[in-house]
Amino acid sequence: MNSETRVSRIILFILFGAALLTLSGCAFTGSRAHKNITYAGDSGKIQDQQLNIFEPRRPKSPTDVLIFIHGGNWNSGKKSQYNLFGRNWTKKDIVAVIPDYPLSPTATYKEMAEYTARSVKWVKENIQHYSGDPDRIFISGHSAGGHLAALVAIDEQYFNKLGIENPVKGLILIDAAGLDMYGYLLEEKFPNDNTYLKTFTSGQKIWKEASPLYHLHNNMPPMTIFLGGKTYPSIAVSNDKFIKSLQEFAPGTPFQILKNKKHIPMITQFFNPWNKRYSQIHTFMENVSKKQKL
């Protein structure tokens, strides 16, 4: 997991090539971008947090909404790195929302999760102005973003604190990190100045609270999970624990291992507008019944 700090740098390095590929597929036609919309105001140590919205130019009807939480080891990454990802989703008649969130060491994991939940609340209250269906909100994330997406979708405390019912219709995890931070940090025994302890503190009780694995319950949104077959060992181990524990609450949850994919290519594959993961995720979203009550 320590190598994950390279994610943002490598993503930036390949963006130019990905842009050429996407332009060749005319991915920029048929969509509108609404950028740098503030969803949470300055609270002192944490500055304004903003999001980008990618809207189909001619939506067929109020469309499903996908909120994507970026990765970056909880201490790096930004929404602008994923503009291609957002635009590619509009080709599926999906409204894509990509928020920023405060990063470590300015924020702890819990503040990151709280801001993630606030971005979902903003979407719930405003997305109808951008062709989105506020009753069809899905959340996804890669790496550290997968951890935050899972935490707010599963642990009810975050939406309870905001005074709303959980609005997440479905959860899509893409090589999610941190699903069992308790087990990982317990095993690694990092020194106090380690970046993970700045994010998750040194308290074992907090590590468990931070781990989606320990918040599973019967009324969770349905989910689908993708894992790289050559991802970091710590991510593979925590996903394995997570999948096994899911059998008690949500047996049959779709889980796919992409055998030849490493951690970073698990997200850069989406810069290709023809990547089959788009169709797989879209099918998952369509199969979540519009009548389902969370």
Span 92-106, average pLDDT: 97
Q: What is the pLDDT of residue 9?
A: 56
Confidence at residue 272, expressed as pLDDT on a 0 to 100 scale: 97
Tokens for 167? 């609005």
Question: SS3 sequence, the chain?
Answer: CHHHHHHHHHHHHHHHHHHHHHHHCCCCCCEEEEEEEEEECCCCCCCCEEEEEEEECCCCCCEEEEEEECCCCCCCCCHHHHHHHHHHHHCCCCEEEEECCCCCCCCCHHHHHHHHHHHHHHHHHHHHHHCEEEEEEEEEEEEHHHHHHHHHHHCCHHHHHCCCCCCEEEEEEEEECCCCHHHHHHHHCCCCCCHHHHHHCCCHHHHHHCCHHHHCCCCCCCEEEEEECCCCHHHHHHHHHHHHHHHHHCCCCCEEEECCCCCCHHHHHHHCCCCHHHHHHHHHHHHCCCCCCC
Q: What is the pLDDT of residue 20?
A: 41
**Is residue 18 pLDDT above 50, yes or no?**
no
pLDDT of amino acid 44: 84
Q: Which band of pLDDT confidence, cut at 50, 70 and 90, is reported for residue 5?
A: low
Q: What confidence tens digit (pLDDT) does each residue in 145-182 have?
A: 999 999 999 999 999 999 999 999 999 999 999 999 99
Summarised one tens digit per residue, pLDDT across range 254-281 is: 999 999 999 999 999 999 999 999 999 9
Mention every residue, 6+ apart, whose C-beta is less than 8 A from residue 224.
170, 171, 172, 173, 253, 254, 255, 256, 280, 281, 284
Encoded tokens for 250: 């949500």
Answer whether 0.75 is exceeded by the pTM. yes
Is the predicted pLDDT of residue 194 greater than 60, yes or no?
Answer: yes
Q: What does the pLDDT read at residue 23?
A: 42
pLDDT band at residue 282, thresholds of 50, 70 and 90? very high
Higher pLDDT, 60 or 229: 229
Residue 93: per-residue pLDDT:
96
Extents of the domains making up the chain: 2-287
The pLDDT of residue 289 is 78
User: Is the CATH code 3.40.50.1820 the one for domain 2-287?
Assistant: yes
pLDDT at 204 over 50: yes
CB 149 within 8 A of CB 69: yes
24 vs 105 pLDDT, higher one = 105
Confidence of residue 6 (pLDDT cuts 50, 70, 90): low
pLDDT of residue 13 exceeding 90: no
Q: Tens of pLDDT along 36-89? A: 999 999 778 899 999 999 999 999 899 999 999 999 999 999 999 999 999 999
Q: Which residue has the higher pLDDT, 9 or 186?
A: 186
Bond before 251 cis per omega within 30 degrees: no
